[in-house]
Every structure is written in structure tokens, then in C-alpha cells.
Amino acid sequence: MRLLSGQVDFTVPLWRQLLFIGLLVPAQALAQHSRYDTYTGFATDTTPVLPSAEKHPSLYFSADFIPELRLRKADQSSHYYFLWQRFRADALRFATKDMSLMDENDRPRAAKTLAFWWIMEEDSTALEKAVEALLLAYDGVPQTGEKPYDEIYRATWLQNYAAAYDWVYDQLTSDQNTEIRRRIAEETQYLRDNIMVGARLAPRPHNHRSKPAWAIGTAALALSDHDQAADWLSHALEAANTVTRYQFSADGIYREGGHYWMYNAVNFIPFLWHYLNVSGVDLFGDYQPAFEWPIRVRTGRGQIPNIEDSYLKPAPTHMVAAAYRGVPTSLNTDVDFAAICQWNYENTRLIEHNYTGATVDVTWEIDEYILFDSSIESAAPTASPNQFLEGGQVVFRRSWEPSSDDRYLLFHGVADADNHNHPDQLSFFLGGNDAILAPDAGYGPDGFSDDRRGSWYLKAHAHNILTADGFPPVADDLYSNPTVLNVTPFARYEIDSGFFGFAEKESGYVRPNDVSLRRSIAFIDQDYFVVSDLLHGSEEHTYRSYLHGRGSFDRAGHYLSWSPFGNRYGAAARLDAFILP
């Protein structure tokens, strides 16, 4: 997305600004820092539960479900058939390859894809190739955390190999079985011994720790008769908990942003199903807020806004809907959460089909084919379209339903975390008329490797915030002893009515530390927004207010206008803003 910014400067001790935004008609483990134990997130029971005897297949389904899987593709107008076509193309391609020549990404993908093709089509060539890939698992892959072998990739490789083994188990000779189990077990033990201890591949709790943790859990369930399986599973649950406690809020906000929520979901959605299917342990209840959050904050097109290091991302909640049959949700008290999960994805417009962030590692169409249940009837949320999350985000919207004249604003007042964080406290993301109008900086075209990440995307002035002497708002108190971290900006007032939605939040600045900021946002008549900033400081400072739009830009005095062009992110539209100091 092309961003153009408006900036207003003031140098006064006390300052109030009003910004009127109108939407016009479209043109068309370990001992760790205390900060990691003082947030509001969630944790699960770490007692490992394994079946009395190992059984295959069991991770995604049991043998009696295979006929249903084979029937799903019969309707050529169905989503199942679309998915089948996509993984069929992969299976036919992989079946012609020499497994010994495949790289560290493709071999585990080939193993899982060909093993599933064997399940679906009883193709003996696919079976032979899948077994060949499993017998070569991790050949040429050193046990190191250096790219391209680091733990975030190894996580998905391990889950792919575990699934492939689960699906071809009953076709293996004794020698083949012994060798494949050895290879999967050695990799599992390596990760177990080196995520938080040993080489400390992931010394801090974020996606580099949680992704391999969930993969270790999957491997423990696949090899549940192994004498280390209980230790692996316990360690996996403990490691994952360090991340869910710190990166998630109690109401499900993921502090690394929507991109890394999805990147984690590549591993935690399968693991949650694997634990339920193999051991009967249902952790979906603990994770429900993590699936409700992307629905509560979804844009008009169903995307998670690109806050923090992130692109716009969908949430594949349809892949967990079946786990929430009969489970209530405050989003609609008349239906179960399964119906809401189904509705969310049904009403999401994908920017691209490869949305996981792990395209070179995952076989996502296979997971979706298995886990999506088209028999679940969908229902839209009936809760107020305006959502006030205790973790610090507020969403104002005209309606839950997609519309060409929608209104949407996310007010971001979440406590800072220490990974993929941006200087964006009390920023906002604005959409309307089926367009993105005032986005967050998020990720650039090349993501984490973008050469402008440090010079632009991570800078305070790249966000819709107000700076003091060039510094962004931060609610944490770094001057007290001990320091006070994980502070959610104080929610002073919240109002929700059909005519008037309102939220006011308060934060401070680490530098200059005599300044406090109150930002309020009002949603008037479900049509336009008013942003008001009130700053208090005992000394003279330079304050700058930033507003970023898209498309062509025009300014005349206090009036600013952007005309975003239509593309895959949204329709052509116009944003008018008036800045009144």
C-alpha cells in the first residue's frame, strides 16, 4: 500500500487538537525477566495426557473417517473440491521428484502431501514416495538455529513429518518404522533440549518459542509410546504457556500482531486438534479468546488490521468451528461459537490464497480440507458492532456485515511487548466505504527483511499517533524502581450507543517523562469520527500529530484529503479530514 502522511507541529506545554474525519461516497520455563510474568494472558494445564496405547491414524482423524474425506470432493462446486484441486496439483508434482534431491522445506511438505494423497486415492506411487521422504527426514539438515534451519521452520517440518508418519504407519515394514521413528524422535529431542535451555534457540517468549513448542507436542502425540513422549508433551505445554501468558491478553489480543497470530496458528490449530483427537484433551476452551479476537477486530473485509509487524491477515476460524459446537459466546448469545467461526471466514475476502506467512513450509489446503466442516450453519454476531476490549483495543463500526458503505476504526491502546512491536500506542486504523483509508505502517513489501523497516516502518512518525519531541506514547513506567511494564493505557471513558460511540485512553511518554496524553475518539451517528488529543506537560515540548492516508493527497490549510485507488485491499474511495488546533 502506498502511504502519504499529514503532519501538524505545535510547541506548547498544554495542547488540544481535534481531528474530524469524514468518509465520502466512493469513487467506485526458564527463569526469565519479570515482564514475562506480569501480563494478563492465559495458560493451560501442563500435565501431559497420552493414550494408553499408540494408534494410527489419530492426529487429524481415525481410520473410520477416511470414507468421509474421500467423499468430500465429489461436489465440484464445493470448497472441498477447490482445496482438493490445489493439493492434487502438489501431489502430482511431488510424485515425480527424487526425494533425496529435495531441500529442507520441500521434503517434509512432500512427505505429508503424498501421504495424504495415499489416504485419499490409494496411489501406490504416492505411498512409496512418502515413505522415501520419511526415511530421508532431516538428511542434510544440521541441528542448528541458524537460517535457513531455525526453529520456526523446523516446527512446521516436524508437524508435517509427524502427520505423514501417522498416515502411512500401517504400510511400513518393521525396519522402516524403526528408522522413521528414530529420525522424528531425534528432532523432537533436539528441539525439546534447546528451545529454552541448551542452545536457547528462543530465549524470549514469542513465536520462535511457541511454534516449535506446539510441534513438539504434535510429535509426542504421534509417538505416544516413546519413553520420552510424556516429557516432550509436558515441555511443549510449558513452553507454549510462556508465550500465551505474555503475548496474548486475557481477551485474546495477540501483541505481535495479526501476521504472527496467523503464523502461530499454522502450528497451534493443528496441535489443538491433535491433542483432542489423540488424548481427548480439549484446550479449545482456553484458546477461545484467541479465536474471538480476530472476529472482534475484523475489518469490513474480514481482515485483522496490520498493527505491529504485520500485513492484513485473515483468520481461518472455520478450521476450528467444529471444536466449538455447543460452546457459547458473547458475540451472539443465540448461537454457538461454531456458527460465528463459520460466518467469520465465509465473510472474509482473501487478499491472496497463500495467507499463512509460511507458504514454503505448510500444506495448508490439506489441513483445511480435513478440519473444515461445511455442515456447520453460520450466523453473524449480534453483539454491538462497537467492541471494547479490556486488553486495550476498541473497534467502532457501523455493522458486522460487509457493506460498500461500511465504517470502521480500530483504536489501539495495548500494552507494549518486546517482539515485533511498533511505536503505535494510541494509534488508529481507519476504513470505510469498502476501502482502507488510514492504515497502520505494519510491514513493508518485504516484511521483516524490508530495507525500510528500520528507517520507516518502525519509526514513530510512520503511525497515526502524536509524538512529543519525536517520541511515541508509552504507558510503561521505566523510571520507577522496579520498572512497571505491560501497562495497558488507562481507559478513562467508554460509551456505546447507536448515535454516539466514544472511547478515551490515557498514556504517557518515557521521554519526555513530564508529558501525559489523553486521546479520545468519537464515532458520530455511525458516519464520521472525531479524534481529540489533550497533552499535559510541565515544560515546553514539540508535539507532532501524524495522519497517514492512501492514494493521491491534497491539502489546503486545515483541510486534508486522500483518494485511495481501488485494488485488492479495497475499493476506490475518498477520505476527508479537518485538523483544528
Q: What is the pLDDT along the chain (581 residues), one digit of tens a residue?
A: 334 445 554 444 444 566 665 544 343 344 578 899 999 999 999 999 999 999 999 999 999 999 999 999 999 999 999 999 999 999 999 999 999 999 999 999 999 999 999 999 999 999 999 999 999 999 999 999 888 999 999 999 999 999 999 999 999 999 999 999 999 999 999 999 999 999 999 999 999 999 999 999 999 999 999 999 999 999 999 999 999 999 999 999 999 999 999 999 999 999 999 999 999 999 999 999 999 999 999 999 999 999 999 999 999 999 999 999 999 999 999 999 999 999 999 999 999 999 999 999 999 999 999 999 999 999 999 999 999 999 999 999 999 999 999 999 999 999 999 999 999 999 999 999 999 999 999 999 999 999 999 999 999 999 999 999 999 999 999 888 889 999 999 999 999 998 999 999 999 999 999 999 999 999 999 999 999 999 999 999 999 999 999 999 999 999 999 999 999 999 999 999 999 87
Model confidence, pTM: 0.95
Rounded to whole angstroms, how far apart are CA atoms 234 and 216? 10
Amino acid of residue 535: L
In the 8-state DSSP scheme, what is residue 564? P
Q: Considering all CA atoms of the chain, what is the largest pairwise distance in Å, rounded to the nearest integer?
A: 79
Strand order in the sheet with 542-550: 3-11, 542-550, 466-468
Residue 192 corresponds to which cell in the numbers above?
525439546
Domains, the chain, in order of start with CATH, read 3-30+382-580 (2.70.98.70), 69-223 (1.50.10.100)
The 3 state secondary structure assigned to 272-315 is HHHHHHHHCCCCHHHHHHHHHHHHHCCCCCCCECCCCCCCCECC
